[in-house]
Amino acid sequence: MNKIYNPKRADWSKVLKRPTQTVADIEGLVNTIFEEVKLGGDSILKKYTEQFDKVSLDSLLVSEDEIEEAKTLVSEELKAAIQLAKANIEVFHTAQKTGRVEVETAAGVSCWQEKRPIQKVGLYIPGGTAPLFSTILMLAVPATISGCSEIVLCSPPDKEGKLNPAILYTADLCGVTKIVKVGGIQAIAGMTFGTETLPQVYKIFGPGNQYVTVAKQISTKHGVAIDMPAGPSELLVVADDSANAAFVASDLLSQAEHGVDSQVILVSTSKAMIDAVEIEVENQLEELPRKEIARQAIANSKLIFVDNHQDAIDLINEYGPEHYIVCVENEDFYIDNTQNAGSVFIGNYTPESAGDYASGTNHTLPTNGYAKQYSGVNLDSFMKSMTFQKITKEGIQTIGKAIELMAEAEGLEAHKNAVTLRLNSLK
């Protein structure tokens, strides 16, 4: 791993650079596929599925028979684990429900806010080297709680044209209404425009590689909302001598194994901890089935020593990590002063893996520094806030003159007249 000692603030942006391509590097390919899918529908989805996933499909839609078969292929132990995670996620997200907010802003002027579900949502679930069925829990559970009427799931098939049984089992368990075997840029394009098989949706959720991330961003140019620009996974750990080096190394590797473009960072005020973690990473790495992927990610990663806690927290806020683990003696200082992070894990016995699977919080989080302005997925991500108002005769008399004066000052006489007519009718 790359060791960096007391980097100058002027160099922080260079030190903290993510190993990702820019939108410009990928946008041309994305636009080409979008245009083809818009014009060609299912046939183009199949074409790119054959090109990228190396399988030719007669039908993109997952059948009921495939779902039933998948249920028999998932072990009872895994089913129980998925159900436990689902229950915890339901508890945490149900607690996020808020009721109607109503206030009388002036005499006779009632204003209120209510939330409505987004009717049609699309869930992108990565397949590839790691079939992320856990992401279905994180997206379909709050979508169902919110009351979304259509929940469409896209995931790339394997070379036999199938989806992982755990993906199908979890999707069925969580109320997904349609499952389509398509991945990558073409899946995002299909949900953006709609095809013969794949419905058009109003908002797209889910993580993916850099190509999927850019595709989601491009979809917003075509009237579709997205959860956030969530790209390759990342983790930052802040640790001092009170931390367990083996635990810290295991957390760094847990994110490094996601993909070769993942990034993990350790920030520490202890050189001894940095050295101990480096040794543990090398030892644990050799035991991992996905060690070649993790090794490439580790090459993009950093061990950063800083002299004091203030520099450490400033560096962390500058980075804005997706996942952020705090293992320090004075944890309150870091918790209270953290401004930019997707999800925070506190203490030696709170691995990031808990949030990925079963503690109840959501693991669909902003990456690439977007934690500075985006929240992770939550119940409100699947809802819209609508405002309502009702004004009585007394109310229009209370605020009418102010509206007339403001409209006239802006040169909008029709706006003024809409109030004047009502006021005159009450004389």
259 and 288 Cβ atoms separated by less than 8 Å: no
- Say which residues have a Cβ less than 8 Å from residue 409's Cβ, sequence separation at least 6: none
**CA atoms of 395 and 363, how far apart (whole Å):** 46
Residue 258 labeled ligand binder: yes
Query: In the structure, what pLDDT confidence band is assigned to residue 230 with cuts at 50, 70 and 90?
Result: confident
Residue 113 labeled ligand binder: no
* 389-410 pLDDT per residue, tens: 999 999 999 999 999 999 999 9
- Superfamily of segment(s) 23-102+117-230: Nitrogenase molybdenum iron protein domain (3.40.50.1980)
- Say which residues have a Cβ less than 8 Å from residue 223's Cβ, sequence separation at least 6: none
Q: Do domains 2-20+232-360 and 23-102+117-230 have the same CATH topology?
A: yes
Nearest to 381 by CA among 187, 139, 153: 139
Query: In the structure, what pLDDT confidence band is assigned to residue 232 with cuts at 50, 70 and 90?
Result: confident
Work out the average pLDDT over 213-231.
Answer: 92
Q: Which amino acid is at 412?
A: L
* 139-196 pLDDT per residue, tens: 999 999 999 999 999 999 999 999 999 999 999 999 999 999 999 999 999 999 999 9
pLDDT above 80 (res 226): yes
Residue 357 labeled ligand binder: no
CATH class of 2-20+232-360: alpha beta
Residue 323 labeled ligand binder: yes
Catalytic residue among 234, 257, 280, 322: 322
| Per-domain residue ranges of the chain | 2-20+232-360, 23-102+117-230, 392-425
Catalytic residue among 93, 323, 352, 363: 323
Cβ atoms < 10 Å from Cβ of 50? 12
Which CATH code for domain 392-425?
1.20.5.1300
pLDDT, position 203: 98
Show the 3-state SS of 195-254.
CCCCCCCCEEECCCCHHHHHHHHHHHHHCCEECCCCCCCEEEEEECCCCCHHHHHHHHHH
Instruction: Establish whether 93 is a catalytic residue.
Output: no
Residue 113 three-state SS: strand
Residue 356 labeled ligand binder: yes
Instruction: Establish whether 66 is a catalytic residue.
Output: no
Residue 363 labeled ligand binder: no
Q: How many residues does the chain have?
A: 427
Residue 186 labeled ligand binder: yes
183-193 residues labelled b (16+ CB within 10 A) or e (exposed): bbbbbbbbbbb
Radius of gyration, alpha carbons of the chain: 25
pLDDT, position 22: 65
pTM for the model: 0.93
Residue 349 labeled ligand binder: no
319-347 residues labelled b (16+ CB within 10 A) or e (exposed): bbbbbbbbbbeeeeebeeebebbbbbbee
pLDDT above 80 (res 128): no
Percent of the chain with pLDDT over 70: 99
pLDDT above 70 (res 347): yes
